[in-house]
A and B are shown apart, each in its own frame.
Chain A
Amino acid sequence: MAVNELQSTRKPPIFQIGAILWLRTNLFSSWVNGLLTLASLYLLYISIPPLLDWMVLSANFNFGTVNILGFEIKFSEVMADNQNCGREAACWPYIYEKLYMYIYGFYPREESWRPDTVYGLTALLFVIVRLVRNYKYKNRVILSLIVAYPIVSYILLAGGFGLLPVVETHRWGGLLLTLVIASVGIIVSFPIGVVLALGRRSNLRVIKLFSTLFIEFIRAVPLITILFMASFVLPLFLESGNNFDKLLRALIGIALFQAAYFAEVVRGGLQAIPKGQYEAADAIGLSYLQKNALIILPQALKISIPNIVGSSISLFKDTTLVLIIGLMDMLAMVNMTSQDPYWLGRETEGYVFVTMVMWVILYSMSRYSRKLEIRFNTENKN
């Protein structure tokens, strides 16, 4: 019985929008909230300015003259030494002096182009993965890269084979070592993990038993015990207990450890595949190997990718543990250089520096992981 005329669209009432509303609803919506806001502001006030002051404002940046990418930049007349570097704030020249060791360890300086190349190859790897995203044969490309990368990097870093002068592994250190351990750890442990995951889901009781035992055992103990085992006991398992490369021991320990964790991630992916896929593959007559290689694993791995990246990030964090068995990763280098009698009492600068570097790397990795997750969620919308 009633027909209304067209109503006009209006803007909301003035005090309902804008900065005042925002402040009211988001920061001061109630008594309690108001107090919390003030408390947080106070907390920020007493923590951020002193930190900023120590790190930047009062810090010593007297690096002398520095050659950056071919440009000579003069920070100060001469580089500061421990006496005139100041005690109340950060002494960054200390870090600058030790920087080579933090990045390359004890790698001989004249050969530093080799680790540089490896760093470059690593970056290139990520770039290529991004570029071939829509390429038809991208899986083959990525697979061949993943196989080629460790081999090429090993030859570059270790030398030998009559190509390059040998650099023993005990000279590898700092960020370089972290990178080596992390990448080898991920690349080697992943196939093992996939096999373990398949084993755990196998119908053959023996295989299932041993896979489960292995996985559950490794996941129950701390990484440090595995590293100790690898470091002290592994050499004894071999013929004449030959002098086993220290780095190799750590790599084996880490690879086995990470394999168990990857196995659980992949198992989650395998469980998420609907039973119908298995049945369809069987119905068209594929063998176990064909079924897994062509149908099951591609799907399972695809859905697990965010978790695989997450697990890899954990591995990266865990590489710092090798310092406890005597390998000189970046953290170990910081500890070592702070014993330098010339630069006494500069551990804090070292830790802050390492923390910043690690944080940047790990944060970037987790951002990348989140982007992957979003991409996969939108791609998989049925």
Chain B
Amino acid sequence: MKQQNILSQVKSLTFREILYNNEVRAFFFQVATLLLIFGLFYTIIGNLFDNIEARGIHTGFSFLKNRAGFDILPFLGNYLQDYTPESSNLTVFYVGLINTLVVAFIGIIITTFLGLFIGIARLSNNYLIAKLAGGYIELFRNVPVLLQIFFWYNIFINIFPHPKKSLSFFDVVFLNQRGLYLPKPILENGFLLVIIAFVVGIILTVFMKRYFNKKHDETGVHTRTLGYSTLLILGLPAVFFLLLGSPLHFDFAVLGKFNLNGGMQIVPEFIALTFALSVYTATYIAEAIRSGIEAVDKGQKEAAAAIGLTQTQSLKLIVMPQALRVAIPPTINQYLNLTKNSSLATAIGYPELMSSFGGTVLNQVGQAVEILGMAMLVYLVISLCISLLLNFVNKRMAIPER
């Protein structure tokens, strides 16, 4: 029923009938709500501006151009943005953003593998392994993640040795209180070609798999492609690498008198944060995987066995496709949680978005609305992307029903 109907009806009704008409009611109710909400906003924003004026806080985004004036713990963000205290506040924003994404990216990879392992171990018929996996989940799920971050940070700080006595792994990788030192890769001109070779290798592998699939369809002969894939993906770039005279050098960290020089420093704050987040999130992913595998009806495995499939075939063709449909949506949700939890880095000083931009800059500039607004916008965008990904995955995987 459209608006015209209401109006025409209204004209011909008595007042009482108007009052009880559901659509009229709905209409006025919504109008009232809108007025209420806007009224609230009006008051609040009004107060906001009054208070801002009274306290002499600036508005607008001009502060972004101002000089930051503080040091940030050295990490990828600083490196990519060439950060110095002379850089602008906007640069701080970018530095924080990059550092957040690095934690999210590495954390997601680690937690996926860890969660997969623990989830499968939980279902093992080896009593000890199953119980240990269960214990892991119970232990790390029932401690707040902030506490875990502090805990691991504290342990790492205490355990990692003084730079003078750095732990060394074949003089290539070093570990001390200041962090993990890896060789810094220095790329020279030819390296681009090696990367291209790698990509070409991947493309060739895709085509090769298609070719072999077709062959399987047509002749029934199944070829194992693992060897060929490895050869293409790793071998091809390797060949180019050697031909071009190894265009990749490493700047190794060298133990100087007091300290390590050179190399690539991975600060313990990053290690503690990523470690704690991965360990914590893995418990949820393990449960998601476990519920996925358990959701596959026992009869499916029996039917697969009854028609003669091997264990591996049964897993690949029957169990995993069904298990993953159940396990993937909550897992993707956990990726979002991990990214949100990275904001807790404020507590240990890892310079991601909230601690550097939402922390130090906020303290210095005081324009909470703008700064928090920008930060929240970032998380909103990340969240939106993940939701879209989730929707896409769900649609693709849906099993048609009646």
Contact A220 B380 (CB under 8 A): yes
Tell yes or no: A373 within 8 A of B by CB.
Answer: no
Knowing A40-B128, A358-B144, say if A222 contacts B384 (CB, 8 Å): no
Tell yes or no: A41 within 8 A of B by CB.
Answer: yes
Contact B30 A206 (CB under 8 A): yes
Contact of B379 among A203, A221, A331 (CB under 8 A): A221
Interface residues of A in 337-351 (CB under 8 A from B): 347-348, 351
Q: How far is the CB of A260 from chain B (nearest CB, A)?
A: 13
Contact of B126 among A26, A207, A223 (CB under 8 A): A26
Tell yes or no: A368 within 8 A of B by CB.
Answer: no
Q: How far is the CB of A8 from chain B (nearest CB, A)?
A: 31
Q: Please give me the residue from chain A that is nearest to B343 by CB atom.
A: A222
A241: chain B residues within 8 A (beta carbon): 47, 51, 54-55
Tell yes or no: B223 within 8 A of A by CB.
Answer: no
Contact B150 A331 (CB under 8 A): yes
Knowing A29-B125, A232-B368, say if A324 contacts B346 (CB, 8 Å): yes
B20-59 to A contact mask, C-beta < 8 Å, 1/0: 0000001001100110010000001001100110110000
Contact of A318 among B48, B141, B144 (CB under 8 A): B144
Tell yes or no: B61 within 8 A of A by CB.
Answer: no
Knowing A26-B125, A221-B340, say if A232 contacts B372 (CB, 8 Å): yes
Contact A237 B47 (CB under 8 A): yes
B167: chain A residues within 8 A (beta carbon): none
Whole-angstrom CA separation of A205 from B37 in the bound complex:
14
Contact of A233 among B125, B150, B341, B372 (CB under 8 A): B372
Tell yes or no: A37 within 8 A of B by CB.
Answer: yes
User: Which size class do B's interface residues fall under?
Assistant: 35 or more
Contact A362 B142 (CB under 8 A): yes
Interface residues of B in 356-378 (CB under 8 A from A): 358, 362, 368-369, 372, 375-376
Tell yes or no: A236 within 8 A of B by CB.
Answer: yes
Contact B52 A236 (CB under 8 A): yes
Tell yes or no: B146 within 8 A of A by CB.
Answer: yes
Q: How far is the CB of B253 from chain A (nearest CB, A)?
A: 28
A217: chain B residues within 8 A (beta carbon): 380
Contact B142 A358 (CB under 8 A): yes
Contact A358 B147 (CB under 8 A): yes
Whole-angstrom CA separation of A323 from B37 in the bound complex:
32
Tell yes or no: A377 within 8 A of B by CB.
Answer: no
Whole-angstrom CA separation of A43 from B55 in the bound complex:
59
A221: chain B residues within 8 A (beta carbon): 340, 376, 379-380, 383
Whole-angstrom CA separation of A319 from B128 in the bound complex:
35
Contact of B383 among A27, A220, A233, A324 (CB under 8 A): A220
Tell yes or no: B398 within 8 A of A by CB.
Answer: no
Interface residues of B in 140-181 (CB under 8 A from A): 141-147, 150-151, 154-155, 158
B382: chain A residues within 8 A (beta carbon): 220
Tell yes or no: A25 within 8 A of B by CB.
Answer: yes
Contact B127 A26 (CB under 8 A): yes
Q: How far is the CB of A37 from chain B (nearest CB, A)?
A: 5
Tell yes or no: B251 within 8 A of A by CB.
Answer: no
Contact of A225 among B47, B125, B358, B384 (CB under 8 A): B358
Tell yes or no: B244 within 8 A of A by CB.
Answer: no
Interface residues of A in 55-79 (CB under 8 A from B): none
Interface residues of A in 232-254 (CB under 8 A from B): 232-233, 235-241
Knowing A26-B126, A27-B127, say if A354 contacts B147 (CB, 8 Å): yes
Contact B138 A240 (CB under 8 A): no
Q: Please give me the residue from chain B that is nearest to A364 by CB atom.
A: B142
Whole-angstrom CA separation of A217 from B383 in the bound complex:
9
Q: Please give me the residue from chain A that is nearest to B344 by CB atom.
A: A224
Q: What does DSSP make chain A's interface, helix, strand, loop or mixed?
A: helix
A348: chain B residues within 8 A (beta carbon): 154-155, 158
Contact B369 A233 (CB under 8 A): yes
Knowing A222-B343, A320-B147, say if A204 contacts B142 (CB, 8 Å): no
Chain A residue total in the interface (Cβ 8 A): 55
A323: chain B residues within 8 A (beta carbon): 146, 347
Knowing A204-B26, A207-B30, A210-B33, say if A225 contacts B146 (CB, 8 Å): no
Whole-angstrom CA separation of A358 from B150 in the bound complex:
14
Whole-angstrom CA separation of A207 from B54 in the bound complex:
35
A324: chain B residues within 8 A (beta carbon): 344, 346-347
Whole-angstrom CA separation of A354 from B149 in the bound complex:
13
Whole-angstrom CA separation of A220 from B379 in the bound complex:
6
B346: chain A residues within 8 A (beta carbon): 224, 324
- Chain B CB count within 10 A is highest, among A228, A321, A366, for A228
Tell yes or no: A36 within 8 A of B by CB.
Answer: yes
Whole-angstrom CA separation of A144 from B153 in the bound complex:
45
Contact of B128 among A41, A210, A236 (CB under 8 A): A41
Tell yes or no: B139 within 8 A of A by CB.
Answer: yes
Contact A355 B343 (CB under 8 A): no
Contact A320 B146 (CB under 8 A): yes
Contact B142 A225 (CB under 8 A): no
Contact B362 A232 (CB under 8 A): yes
Q: How far is the CB of A145 from chain B (nearest CB, A)?
A: 26
Q: Please give me the residue from chain B that is nearest to A178 by CB atom.
A: B144
Q: Please give me the residue from chain B that is nearest to A23 by CB atom.
A: B127
Contact A210 B372 (CB under 8 A): no
Q: How far is the CB of A133 from chain B (nearest CB, A)?
A: 26
Tell yes or no: A229 within 8 A of B by CB.
Answer: yes
Knowing A222-B341, A232-B362, A323-B347, say if A207 contacts B33 (CB, 8 Å): yes
Whole-angstrom CA separation of A351 from B358 in the bound complex:
26
Whole-angstrom CA separation of A235 from B50 in the bound complex:
12
Tell yes or no: A33 within 8 A of B by CB.
Answer: yes
Tell yes or no: A154 within 8 A of B by CB.
Answer: no
Tell yes or no: B132 within 8 A of A by CB.
Answer: yes
Contact A225 B368 (CB under 8 A): no
Knowing A224-B343, A236-B48, A320-B147, say if A40 contacts B129 (CB, 8 Å): yes
B48: chain A residues within 8 A (beta carbon): 233, 236-237
Knowing A37-B126, A210-B33, say if A239 contacts B47 (CB, 8 Å): yes
Tell yes or no: A359 within 8 A of B by CB.
Answer: yes
A44: chain B residues within 8 A (beta carbon): 132
Tell yes or no: B354 within 8 A of A by CB.
Answer: yes
Q: How far is the CB of A257 from chain B (nearest CB, A)?
A: 12
Whole-angstrom CA separation of A331 from B126 in the bound complex:
38
Tell yes or no: A363 within 8 A of B by CB.
Answer: yes
Contact B347 A225 (CB under 8 A): no
Contact A222 B151 (CB under 8 A): no
Q: Please give me the residue from chain A that is nearest to B367 by CB atom.
A: A232
What are 10 A-B contacts defined by CB distance under 8 Å? A27-B127, A207-B33, A210-B33, A220-B384, A233-B48, A237-B44, A239-B47, A324-B344, A348-B154, A359-B142
A-B residue pairs, 9 tightest by C-beta:
A220-B383, A232-B368, A362-B142, A26-B127, A206-B30, A222-B340, A317-B144, A222-B343, A241-B51
Residues of A participating in the B interface, judged by any CB pair closer than 8 Å = 25-27, 29, 33, 36-37, 40-41, 43-44, 203-207, 210, 217, 219-225, 228-229, 232-233, 235-241, 317-321, 323-324, 331, 335, 347-348, 351, 354-355, 358-359, 362-363, 366
